[in-house]
Amino acid sequence: MLEMLSYDFMQRSLWAAALVGAICSMIGVFVVLRGLAFVGAGTAHAAFAGVTLAYLVGLPPLPLAILFGLATVWVTGVMEEKGQMKLDVSIGILYTATMALAILFIGLMKGYNAEVYGYLFGSVLSVTPEELRTIWILGFIVLCIMVVFSKELYFIAFDQEMAEASGVPARQIFFLLLSLIALTVVVSLKTVGAILVFAMILIPASTAYQLTHSLSHMTAYSVVIGIVCAVGGVMLSYAWNLPSGPAIVLLATTLFFLSALFSPKRLKRAAAL
């Protein structure tokens, strides 16, 4: 098993998986608590549309993925704020619209492009040194911003109106959170793919939610679970020759069901009844 660590591509894969696991699971805490689960899914598909457009016109995929992701979350955020439409409705429309755009762009390409499908399903084992460097830089920026604004992010997750009434610039922090979700999705696209990145945001945080009554503990548990699932999934995929993205997500899902089954919160509640 340890021989895998002697390969450069495996070292890169494990680093990429650990970093993506950490970022997704940390932003996931705010996504789960603020009820923004669908935003993660919608943003992932919007970013994928950006990737396909980039390949179609011959541009680097990252800037367009960021542009599509940010545009989607900002449009939905503004529409909700102005009371024009609920967040889940507007993200649902943009989700399907951007997915339709992605399929259209793929249809316009000449021939089959394996790299594009790598962004859809994830290909952590083929992460290049340049891609790993990009993941490190973007991931570091996202993590730093989350740590710096963590108290405000926790407060708007608890009660945004109360946060604003207490003197926290809640509106700006909400848009910062939406932007961080978009950036996290883009950072993770190559590793777990547009379809499964949503699971990496949601599942470790939901697993941690089962285990504790404390915000700080939930965040710590979520990050540990995210890293363990991402790194463990890559190792399993190497050992059993499985596709890496599904291996990561299915390992996370298994942990989620185990935590739901043996949740101290639920067991305590059941004992109290």
Partner 1 sequence: MGTPIIRFSHATFGFPGVIALKDITLEIAEGEFVGIIGPNGSGKTTLCKAVLGLMRPLEGSLQIFDCSCEELRCHHRARIGYLPQKGRLDQNFPITVLEAVMMGRYGALGLFRRPAKQDREIALQALANVGMQDHHDTALGHLSSGQQQRVLIARALAQQPQVLLLDEPTTGIDITTQHSVLDLVRRLHRDLGLTVLLVTHDINMIRPQVDRMVLLKTRLFAAGAPEAVLKLDILQQVYGKDLVITEKDLIIVEDYHHR
Return the range that interacts with partner 1 (CB under 8 A); candidates 2-10, 48-56, 154-162, 246-254: 154-162
Q: Tell me how far, at minimum, the Cβ of 212 lies from partner 1, in Å.
A: 6
Our CB check for partner 1 shows the closer of 93 and 215 to be 215
Residues sharing a CB contact under 8 Å with residue 185, sequence separation 6 or more, in sequence order = 40, 43, 44, 47, 69, 194, 197, 201
x-or-dash pattern for partner 1, window 7-36, by CB under 8 A?
A: --------------------------x---
CB atoms within 10 A of CB 136: 14
Our CB check for partner 1 shows the closer of 130 and 161 to be 161
- Our finding on whether 167 is near partner 1 (CB under 8 A) is yes
Please give the residues from 188 up to 217 whose contact with partner 1 meets the rule CB under 8 A: 209, 212-217
The tokens of 188 are what?
């993770």
What DSSP string runs through 47-83?
HHHHHHHHHHHT--HHHHHHHHHHHHHHHHHHHHHTT
Return the range that interacts with partner 1 (CB under 8 A); candidates 104-112, 117-125, 146-154, 236-244: 146-154
Q: Tell me how far, at minimum, the Cβ of 149 lies from partner 1, in Å.
A: 7
Residues sharing a CB contact under 8 Å with residue 174, sequence separation 6 or more, in sequence order = 77, 156, 160
Q: How far is CA 169 from CA 35, 75, 174, in A?
A: 19, 19, 9
Return the range that interacts with partner 1 (CB under 8 A); candidates 13-21, 121-129, 166-174, 245-253: 166-174
Going by the DSSP 8-state scheme, the letter that residue 111 receives in this structure is: S
Please give the residues from 101 up to 140 whose contact with partner 1 meets the rule CB under 8 A: none
CB atoms within 10 A of CB 1: 7
Q: Tell me how far, at minimum, the Cβ of 89 lies from partner 1, in Å.
A: 20
Q: How far is CA 73 from CA 44, 51, 89, 179, 182, in A?
A: 11, 17, 12, 7, 7
Q: How far apart are CA 259 and CA 229, in angstroms?
A: 14
Q: How many residues bind partner 1 (CB under 8 A)?
A: 26
Our CB check for partner 1 shows the closer of 214 and 254 to be 214
Binding residues (CB under 8 A) for partner 1: these are: 33, 148-149, 151-152, 154-155, 158-159, 161-169, 209, 212-218
